[in-house]
Structure formats: C-alpha cells, structure tokens
Structure 1
Amino acid sequence: MPRPDRSRTALVDAAAMLFRRQGYAATGVNQILEVADVKAGSLYHHFPDGKQQLAAAVVEGTGTDIETRLRQFLDSGLPVTDIVDGWIDLMSSGLALDCRDGCPIEPIATESVNASPLVRSASARAFQSWQMAIADRLRDDGWAEAESDETALAVIALIEGALILSRISGDSAALNAAKAGTRALLTK
C-alpha cells in the first residue's frame, strides 16, 4: 500500500490556513514552504504550476469537505433552519477564537477574480456545491425547483456576506443578523 505523501498534505494544510487568514496575494510561496516545513522542490513536484495550482487544490479539497459535511447534516432529518443556524454558529465560534478566520474559500475566491481563472473556477464550483446541497434538501422537503435553487443561492450569499462583514468589524453582529435572515428565507 502506498504511503500518503506528507509533503503534499503539509503544503495543502499550510496554504489553506494562510490563504484563509491572509488571502491569496498576501501569502507568498516562501511563507507556505516555511509553515509546511517542506522544500520548494516538493511544491513544484506536486503543483507544477506553483501557487495558483496549490490554491486551486486547497479550494477544491476544502469545498468538497464542507459540501460533504453539509450534506451529512442535511440528510440527518433536522430542520434546515437548525442546520444553517449551526453552520453560522460554527463560523461565529471560529471568529471568536481568531478574527482572521472565516470562510476557507472566500479570501481566495475574492482575489481570484483578477488573479487566477483556475482558482476562480474552483471557487465557483465550491460555492455552487454548497448551494446545491441546500437546494437538494429543500426539494426533498417539497419546495419547487426554481424556488429551492434561488433560496439556496440567497442563503449562501447571505452567510458569506455576513461572514465578510463580521471579519471586518471584528464582531459577530452580521452573522447573528444572517441567522434571522436565513430563517426568514427558509421558512415557508
């Protein structure tokens, strides 16, 4: 059985933390290498296109992890409103521990619009997968397709916008307001 490659995992984990806290442009390759404790050769072995390819891998992996967890919660039978409240509470808790933390995708996604079509595409797929997870659950709950898609998009937009505002202000007021807003959106 092949051994997992520690250097690839270390690179992805270090980059994920740095991109989440600092953004794409403010995170340098040397900083990633230092935090990951790997040599530059490992970076270019695993990610021949460098930082851009590494960032896309971070977004794809993190986006998939969040989608998987979100779908698990949505399949639990709990009300969607309670699941979304819990998701928002989780973000508030993360911000309370370190105000630099927030959505693991958004800082990279926002900068990628101008910096990298590869990362932009990966970011769009991640956000869309979260939207589809919620929309699928709403359809299972009897919502019409168009209404479930639009509502799920509004929920993701509200949460992500509130997270940005909460990170900037240093308090969770916007996230708390998002809880009320998402409940209103999700209550028929």
Structure 2
Amino acid sequence: MATDTRTRMIEATALLIRQRGYHGTSLNDILSASAAPRGSLYFHFPGGKDQLVIEVTRASVADVTERLGAALLEERDPAVAVHHIYQSVARMLEENEFSLGCPVAPVVLDAPNDVPDLVEICRSAFEQWIGLLRQAFMRAGVPERRAQALALLVESSLEGLMVIARATRDRTPVQAVADEVAALVEQAVLAGKVARQAESAA
C-alpha cells in the first residue's frame, strides 16, 4: 500500500509539473491529485516537494533520453529518424489532448534557481538530447559543426512546436515542420557524402 501511495504521488506530480510548472504545483495539488494522506509526502520524500520534483524530473528525462536514443539508432537514415520523432511528438500531443508537452520546459520557464539540483537536471537534459541528435548526424557523415547546428535546430523547433500545438490544439504545425527539417537533414547528409567523395578523389 505504501508503494502504491508513493507511485501515485510520483505519477500525479509528473503530470502536474508538465501542466503547471514547478511554482504552479503546490503540495496540496499533489496530495489532492494522488489521493494521498497529508502525512505521506514527508514519509516518502523527506526532502518535501523539492525531492519529489527532482525525482520525477530525473525519471522523465531518462525516459525521453531512452526513447530518443532508440529512435535515432533504429533508423540508419537520420532524416527519416527525425521525421519519425516529430510524428511521435505530434501523436503524443494529440493523445493527451494538448495538455502536456516537454517534461522539463515548464520547470525551466519557472526558473527554480533555489533548487540547484533541478536546474542541473534540466540543463543536462537538453545537453543529452542535443548530443544524441548531433551524434546521429555525425554518424551519417555530417561535419561536427553542421551536426551541432542541426541538432540545436531540431531540439529548439520541437520545443517551440509543442507550445504552439498546445496553444492552437492542432498537430498540423508539427507535421509541417517535420517535412522541412527532415529535408534539411537529408541535404546535410548528402553534402557530407559529396565532400567526402571530393576529398577521396583529390
């Protein structure tokens, strides 16, 4: 029973943080959404709200990182992989009725600078996600500098598109940008191949 209560609190907090951010989620909100006894929070999380949010955010980041890494490794063509990622984000938004987006963006926008561990988790999350994209592009032959720029473009556009889709309650913008970004990645891969062939011929 204790484990069930702890799990409910974690799941409720994960949803609330993605919907309302760090400062917009109160202890009362968490207890109400999880149907947990008032004294249970500090029993399971002695560090209180901060410990709970840190644990939830760390788990959410790990989940996204795992899924992103798998998507990029599954498909050898990074342009196809990127297109699949955008489509996956579009489906996720539609399935949750445009109520949830990136698990760390609401935390970042809330700027909880008095919780250094939380700030570090968010910083590291974007570093990991951009790094996975950069590595995928480099494996396909895109030069490192271009690969880094493309990775930043993909991640930043996804973050912005999630906000736009939630505001408009429409997945169409995500799908439209997916085609454009995938085409850019394809061009970068082709340019890398041409450059390598020219070097080999020289």
Say if 2:140 is the partner of 1:153.
no
- 1:38 equivalent in structure 2: 36
- 1:100 equivalent in structure 2: 99
For the aligned residue pairs, the C-alpha RMSD in angstroms reads 2.4
**TM-score, with structure 1 as normaliser:** 0.85
Q: Is the 8 A contact 1:15 1:55 kept in 2?
A: yes
Instruction: Report % sequence identity.
Output: 28
- CA offset at residue 114 of structure 1? 5.4
- 1:19 equivalent in structure 2: 17
1:112-151 matches, cutoff 5 A: 112=111, 116-151=115-150
Deviations 1:22-65 (A, max 9, x none): 32222221121222232344322343332222222222111111
> Equivalent residue of 2:74, what SS?
coil
Q: Could you list the runs of 5+ residues in structure 2 that have no partner in the other structure?
A: 189-202
Detail structure 1 runs of 4+ shifted over 6 Å in the superposition. none
Q: Could you list the runs of 5+ residues in structure 1 that have no partner in the other structure?
A: none
**TM-score, with structure 2 as normaliser:** 0.80
Q: Is the 8 A contact 1:158 1:182 kept in 2?
A: no
- 2:192 equivalent in structure 1: none
Q: Distance in 2 between matches of 1:114 and 1:19?
A: 16
> Equivalent residue of 2:170, what SS?
coil
- AA matched with 2:159: E
* Aligned length in residues: 186
- AA matched with 1:173: T
Q: Distance in 1 between matches of 2:74 and 2:159?
A: 23
